[in-house]
Structure formats: structure tokens, C-alpha cells
């Protein structure tokens, strides 16, 4: 039985104690299925501190409320204001039965605290599916409801199945998304009044990529970002739950003019660096994909200025980038640990070492070769010069983009084809090899600190997709060849790459 302890000074402390108790009893499989990661008090307070305006009458939305931590943090914030509202109404949605008794206790405590400060306070708990009800409310199919002035949200994570009710609900509401957190944020934003504010903690993954483009377009069409917080450590916010994907906190206002916004870089609770940037720096009006760039500080802003010298696209260069065609679990019968007379080389990410390709790797856990046959013809490319990029970078690697120059394997001469495994991206020219000087310069450019810093501004995870590489701007073909000529043969160190690229781009800046 859940009870209120006299030791707890407020509703937020109660919510935190219940979080530990209830989560200790709830099996991890259930929480994983629902995508639930409950909000610690420090995170709740940080979200509550994002809000800028408070009127006389507050209507607060807590979607996916859990045990009410965000409601409790919001009430704590309200009660600290010099000018307090006259009324407060909280509406909370929570579908997990194990959380409902604790949620009721926490909200009762919130009402008691608010009433004690002279605020007329009420609450309502909906033990039903938020997406389904929010769609009906937004479309006016329920009895007429007032919109919400404030929303704090730590939405559930997880994929949405193509044939699920959630997918159909969101599609009818005008949003195509494959992720639950984007659906929750979108629906919650639709329930805000004009000028209504949202503070959210979500994965950073929505900031780029084709899967989240419909969400970005829809959300940014009527919500203006005002403050975004980046976290240097992936486990800073949810260490207890071992959430390791990159997470951000953002504050947005419905219908707010697109003025400057703040970006904060959280190194620790005691060290938060904040700077102002233009909206156009974060989301370019000329970008049809509406990718969100988040420079972490003044150094990143300088990097963005330097990147203005990069005027070429891959299309301008006559280069394409694709994902490796060999999916090993689908091609098991053709894979071989060692080369033989009927095989050709097969490259995995593990074959990339310090900007070069090392093949074969004896006693490797991965295959080194693939049988060349009619069954694999469509999986192979002509043997020649390519630039390879790992699709997933390891945590210990300093750069997100790890590139290597692949040169044709000429011994024995029978190798006229090669295979690239699906965890590699490869740069090519219409499916054929690249010119060596151009490829060498391209590999050096991709391994530069400049590209790493640029990439981190719009990509918040360790996955590097071909679509991300297409988004980058590149030096011209002549500049890439000049870069290749300026670096010594063999594996160049990071300083040499960066200095050579800086010299190449400075010539362009001086000419301009």
C-alpha cells in the first residue's frame, strides 16, 4: 500500500520516493514495452524552470504522467513565484495501472500545497490512452474543452508498428511518425492555447533524418523553439534507468515569433554554458527537410562560419553515397571466413583501421570473403577506389564519422568485384570506383575535426546514415585533390589533416 510519509517536505519528494518503490516492483519488461523512464526530481525542476509566462489561470497538461513528478515540480515552481495564479487545473494521462495510486497521492499533495497558498486548485486523472483522447479533443469531438497554458512532458520512447492503433490515430491527426515520443509531443502541442508553453525532455534523434521530417515540419509550423539544452554525458538525466541515447531538453511556445533562442550546454548541474543564436542558424528557412542544428557553444558557431566555404554538394561533385549491399544474415550461405578461389573480398567496419583498409583479418569473427556467383552478383561492386564510412561509430572513437580509403585489391588478379557489408556506407560514381586523388581528399575531409563538429550539430546519435552524408557540404573537386596532395602518404594524424584542410579553405576565404 502506498502512503504519504511525514518525512517528505513536498509532492516532488513524495513522487521521487514512490518512483523508487513502484519501479522496484514493476518488472523491466513492462516498462520497456511502454517505453517508460520516470523523471528524477532534478530533471523535473529543470523542466519546470523553462517556463517564462504565468497568467492568473493556469491549465497544466501532464501526458504520460507516471507518478506525477512533472506536475509536482511545476507546482513547486508556481509556489515560488512572487505573483501567484488565482487558479490551477492539472490534467494527467497515465495508462500504467501500477502508477495510478501513486499518481493520485502526488496530485492530492499538489492540490493541498496550492490551496494552502490561496490558489484554487483542481485536478483530473485519465487512466486512458493519451494519443487517442488527445486526437478527439484536438478535433473538437469531445465536449468543448479549454486548451492548456503549460505542458511538461517526458514522453514514452519506443517504435510505433505500422498497423498499430497509435499509427492510425496519428495519421488521421496529420502526422506520419514511427516513434512514440514524437507522437506524444505532437499531440500535446496541439492541445496548447495560443502562447501556450511546452517543456519537454526527448531523444535528440528528431532533429534530423527523413523519418522525423514530417514531425519537424508539423511541429515547427506552429511551435517556436526558445531554449534547447544539450547534455555532454548521455547518462546525465536517467542514470538509474541506463538510458544511453543522447537526450535534450527543449522549451517551445505556440505561435511565438521566431526570435533568438538560447542553447545551453550542460556539463554538470553546476556548469551550464548558455549562448544566443539566430533561429536561422538552428533551422534554415531554405532547408526543405527542416533539420535542427544545435551548436553547443561559440566554437561550434565559428565552425559553422568556416563551413560557409564548403559550397559543393555530392551531386556537384558527381559522387553518390550508398549503404553496403551485403546483409550478412541474409547471405550466410555465401560468406567465408577466409578467401578462396571462388570468393571475392568482403569488407566490414572492422576492416577499417586508422584511415586505411586492412584485409583480410585472420581469425576474425566476421567473414573476410563472399562467394562470387549468380546469387551474389547484385550484392557486389567493381573492384576499385572507394571511400568507406562506418555506419555506427564506437563510443570510444573520438569522431562520429570514421572514413577510410579503399584501394583495389590486386592480388590475386581474379578479384574484379568486392562486397561492402551493410554496416558500411560507400562513396562511388554511378556505382563505379572513384578517381584516386578525389577519393583521397574526400576521405581526409570526412576524417577532419571540422566535419566531426559540423556533424554533431545536427546528428545526436552514433549512427551515420547515407542521408546524413548527403546533407553535408563539401569542398570543390579541385580543393579535394589539393587536400590529397598536401598530406603525406600513409595514415595522416589528426593535426596534419586539420591543418591541411585549414590551409585549403583559407585560400578560398582569402580569394573571397
Over residues 256-278, the pLDDT tens digits come to: 777 789 999 888 777 888 989 88
pLDDT of amino acid 35: 47
349 and 469: one domain? yes
> Cα–Cα distance between 499 and 30 in angstroms, integer?
52
> How many domains in the chain?
2
pLDDT of amino acid 46: 92
243 and 390: one domain? no
The CATH number covering residue 415 comes to 3.90.220.20
Say if residue 143's pLDDT is above 70: no
> Cα–Cα distance between 478 and 223 in angstroms, integer?
43
pLDDT of amino acid 410: 66
> Cα–Cα distance between 82 and 75 in angstroms, integer?
14
* Inside any domain, residue 249: yes
* Inside any domain, residue 140: yes
258 and 285: one domain? yes
pLDDT of amino acid 305: 78
pLDDT of amino acid 510: 43
* Inside any domain, residue 16: no
What is the arithmetic mean of pLDDT over 405-410? 86
335 and 274: one domain? no
> Cα–Cα distance between 81 and 226 in angstroms, integer?
21
281 and 405: one domain? no
Q: What is the 3-state secondary structure (H, E, C) of 283-349?
A: CCCCCCCCCCCCCCCHHHHHHHHHHCCCCECHHHHCCEEEECCECHHHCHHHEECCCCCCEEEEECH
pLDDT of amino acid 17: 76
pLDDT of amino acid 217: 93
From 248, 263, 296, the end of a domain falls on: 296
pLDDT of amino acid 140: 62
- Residue with the larger pLDDT of the pair 299 and 149: 149
Name the 3-class secondary structure at 237: coil
The CATH number covering residue 178 comes to 3.40.50.150
> Cα–Cα distance between 370 and 504 in angstroms, integer?
40
284 and 325: one domain? no
* Inside any domain, residue 279: yes
414 and 387: one domain? yes
1 pLDDT band (50/70/90 cuts)? very low
What is the arithmetic mean of pLDDT over 9-21? 72
170 and 262: one domain? yes
277 and 339: one domain? no
206 and 334: one domain? no
214 and 344: one domain? no
What is the arithmetic mean of pLDDT over 455-465? 81
- Residue with the larger pLDDT of the pair 145 and 262: 262
Burial of 304: CB neighbours in 10 Å, binned 0-12, 13-18, 19+: middle
Q: Whole domain around residue 363: which residue ranges?
A: 314-511
pLDDT of amino acid 4: 53
* Inside any domain, residue 9: no
pLDDT tens per residue, range 224-256: 999 999 987 655 555 555 555 688 999 999 987
- Residue with the larger pLDDT of the pair 410 and 210: 210
What the block records as the C-alpha cell of 467 is 542521408
pLDDT tens per residue, range 314-332: 999 999 999 999 999 999 9
* Inside any domain, residue 341: yes
pTM of the predicted model as reported, rounded to 2 decimal places: 0.80
pLDDT of amino acid 144: 58
Per the prediction, the chain carries an average pLDDT of 86
- Residue with the larger pLDDT of the pair 381 and 408: 381
119 and 68: one domain? yes
* Inside any domain, residue 31: no
Say if residue 13's pLDDT is above 60: yes
- Give the number of other CB atoms < 10 A from CB of residue 495: 9
Minimum mean pLDDT range among 41-45, 72-76, 197-201, 232-236: 232-236
What is the arithmetic mean of pLDDT over 290-297? 86
pLDDT tens per residue, range 151-168: 999 998 888 888 888 888
Amino acid at each position: 500500500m502506498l502512503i504519504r510519509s511525514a518525512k517528505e517536505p513536498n509532492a516532488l519528494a513524495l513522487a521521487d520516493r514512490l518512483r523508487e518503490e513502484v519501479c522496484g516492483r514493476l518488472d523491466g519488461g513492462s516498462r520497456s514495452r511502454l517505453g517508460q523512464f520516470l523523471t528524477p526530481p532534478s530533471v523535473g525542476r529543470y523542466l519546470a524552470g523553462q517556463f517564462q509566462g504565468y497568467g492568473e489561470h493556469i491549465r497544466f497538461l501532464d501526458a504520460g504522467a507516471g507518478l506525477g513528478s512533472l506536475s509536482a515540480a511545476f507546482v513547486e515552481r508556481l509556489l515560488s513565484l512572487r505573483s501567484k495564479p488565482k487558479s490551477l487545473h492539472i490534467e494527467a494521462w497515465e495508462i500504467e495501472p501500477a502508477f495510478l495510486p501513486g499518481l493520485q497521492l502526488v496530485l492530492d499533495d499538489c492540490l493541498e500545497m496550492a490551496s494552502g497558498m490561496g490558489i484554487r486548485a483542481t485536478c483530473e486523472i485519465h487512466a486512458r490512452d493519451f494519443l487517442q483522447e488527445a486526437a478527439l479533443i484536438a478535433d473538437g469531438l469531445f465536449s468543448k474543452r479549454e486548451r492548456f497554458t503549460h505542458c511538461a512532458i517526458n514522453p514514452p520512447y519506443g517504435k510505433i508498428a505500422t498497423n498499430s492503433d497509435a499509427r492510425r490515430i496519428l495519421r488521421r491527426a496529420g502526422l506520419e511518425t514511427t516513434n512514440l515520443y514524437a507522437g506524444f509531443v505532437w499531440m500535446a502541442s496541439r492541445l496548447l492555447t495560443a502562447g501556450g508553453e511546452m517543456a519537454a525532455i526527448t531523444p535528440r534523434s528528431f532533429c534530423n533524418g527523413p523519418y522525423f521530417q514530417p514531425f519537424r515540419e508539423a511541429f515547427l509550423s506552429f511551435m517556436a523553439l526558445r531554449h534547447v539544452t544539450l547534455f555532454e554525458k548521455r547518462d546525465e538525466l536517467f542514470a538509474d534507468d541506463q538510458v544511453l541515447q543522447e537526450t535534450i531538453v527543449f522549451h517551445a511556445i505556440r505561435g511565438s515569433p521566431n526570435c533568438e533562442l538560447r542553447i545551453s550546454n550542460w556539463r554538470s548541474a553546476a556548469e551550464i554554458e548558455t549562448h544566443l543564436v539566430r533561429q536561422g542558424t538552428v533551422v534554415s528557412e531554405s532547408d526543405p527537410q527542416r533539420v535542427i542544428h544545435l551548436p553547443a557553444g561559440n566554437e561550434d558557431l565559428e565552425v559553422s562560419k568556416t563551413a560557409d566555404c564548403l559550397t559543393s554538394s555530392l551531386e556537384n561533385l558527381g559522387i553518390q553515397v550508398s549503404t553496403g549491399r551485403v546483409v550478412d544474415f541474409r547471405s550466410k550461405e555465401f560468406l567465408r571466413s577466409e578467401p578462396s578461389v571462388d570468393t571475392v573480398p568482403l569488407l566490414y567496419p572492422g576492416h577499417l583501421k586508422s584511415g586505411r583498409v586492412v584485409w583480410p583479418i585472420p581469425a576474425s569473427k566476421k567473414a573476410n570473403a563472399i562467394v562470387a556467383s549468380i546469387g551474389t552478383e547484385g550484392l557486389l561492386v567493381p573492384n576499385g577506389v572507394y571511400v568507406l564510412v562506418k555506419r555506427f561509430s564506437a563510443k570510444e572513437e573520438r569522431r562520429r564519422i570514421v572514413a577510410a580509403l579503399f584501394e583495389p585489391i590486386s592480388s590475386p588478379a581474379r578479384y574484379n568485384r568486392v562486397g561492402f557489408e551493410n554496416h558500411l556506407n560507400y562513396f562511388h560514381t554511378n556505382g563505379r570506383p572513384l578517381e584516386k586523388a578525389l577519393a583521397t581528399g574526400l576521405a581526409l575531409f570526412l576524417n577532419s575535426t571540422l566535419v566531426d563538429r559540423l556533424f554533431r550539430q545536427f546528428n545526436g546519435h552514433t549512427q551515420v546514415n547515407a542521408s546524413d552524408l548527403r546533407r553535408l557540404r563539401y569542398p570543390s573537386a579541385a580543393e579535394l585533390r589539393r587536400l590529397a596532395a598536401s598530406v603525406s602518404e600513409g595514415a595522416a594524424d589528426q593535426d596534419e589533416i586539420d591543418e591541411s584542410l585549414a590551409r585549403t579553405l583559407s585560400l578560398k576565404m582569402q580569394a573571397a
